[in-house]
Amino acid sequence: MHDITKLKQAEEAMRESEKNFRTVVKNANDGLIIASSTGAHLYANRRASEITGYSVEELLTIRMDELAYPDEIPKLFETLKKRINGEEISRQYETVIVQKEGKTVPIEITGAKTFWQDQVADIVIFRDISESKRANELLRESEEKYRNLFNNAEVGMFRTRLDGSEILDLNDKFLDICGRTREEVQGSPSVIHWPDPSEREEIVCRLELEGHVLDFECEMLNKQGEVRTCLTSLVLYREQGILEGSIIDITERK
Instruction: List the chain pLDDT tens, one digit each, 254 residues.
Output: 555 565 565 556 555 555 555 655 566 689 999 999 899 999 999 999 999 999 999 999 999 999 998 888 888 888 888 888 877 666 788 899 999 999 999 999 988 888 888 888 888 999 999 998 988 888 888 888 878 888 888 899 999 999 999 999 999 999 999 999 999 999 999 888 899 989 999 999 999 999 999 999 999 989 888 899 999 999 999 999 999 999 999 998 76
The strand pairing partners of 247, in sequence order, are: 156, 232
Beta strand ranges found along the chain (DSSP E): 31-35, 41-44, 91-98, 104-116, 119-128, 156-161, 167-170, 212-221, 227-237, 242-249
Per-residue three-class SS string for 110-173: EEEEEEECCEEEEEEEEEECHHHHHHHHHHHHHHHHHHHHHHHCCCEEEEEECCCCCEEEECHH
Give kind and range of the element (H or E) at residue 188. Answer: none
- Under 8 Å between Cβ of 127 and 105: no
In whole angstroms, what is the distance from residue 218 CA to residue 199 CA?
7
pLDDT of residue 31: 92
Domain(s) of CATH 3.30.450.20: residues in the chain: 2-130, 154-253
N-to-C CA span, the chain: 107
- Under 8 Å between Cβ of 37 and 84: yes
Does CATH number 3.90.1170.30 belong to domain 2-130? no
In whole angstroms, what is the distance from residue 98 CA to residue 93 CA?
17
Residue of 95, 53, 58 lying closest to 76 (CA atoms): 95
Amino acid occupying residue 98: V
CATH classification number, 154-253, choose in 3.40.50.2300, 3.40.50.300, 3.30.450.20, 3.90.650.10: 3.30.450.20
pTM of the model: 0.57
